[in-house]
Amino acid sequence: MNIVLTGFMGTGKTVIGKLLAEKLSWEYIDTDELIEKKEASARKLLDCLSILEKELEHRRKLFQSVDIGDIDGKFARYCLSLLRKNEN
């Protein structure tokens, strides 16, 4: 069973929710905090993807500048170093 408190800002939902949770020995969950955490996680992921995209573009430009005669045996190392670098 869940109890959900709704209402306008400043009407005491947080105060009542915390008191009720304490009285019932339930966990109090603030949905605003959950949303903020999910948004922060999404922002971090987008930041990581942006960094990866920039790195891939940089690597693509470097690869395009390589003379096709110089590629023999180097392409695999290039790919592995890119994957290894982005594991963190």
- DSSP string for residues in 42-65: HHHHHHHHHHHHHHHHHHHHHHHT
6 within some domain: no
Question: Helix, strand, coil proportions of the chain in percent (round to 5)?
Answer: 70, 0, 30
Q: Is 59 contained in some domain?
A: yes
CB atoms within 10 A of CB 78: 14
Asked, for residue 3, whether it belongs to a domain, the answer is no
Alpha-carbon gap, residue 53 to 21, rounded angstroms = 45
Question: Residue 25 sits in which domain range?
Answer: 13-85
Write out pLDDT tens, residues 24-65.
Answer: 999 998 888 888 888 888 888 888 888 888 888 887 777 666
Rounded CA separation 5/24 (Å): 15
pLDDT of 74 > 80? The answer is no
Q: How many domains are there within the chain? A: 1
pTM of the model: 0.44
Provide the pLDDT for residue 4.
87
Is 4 within a domain?
A: no
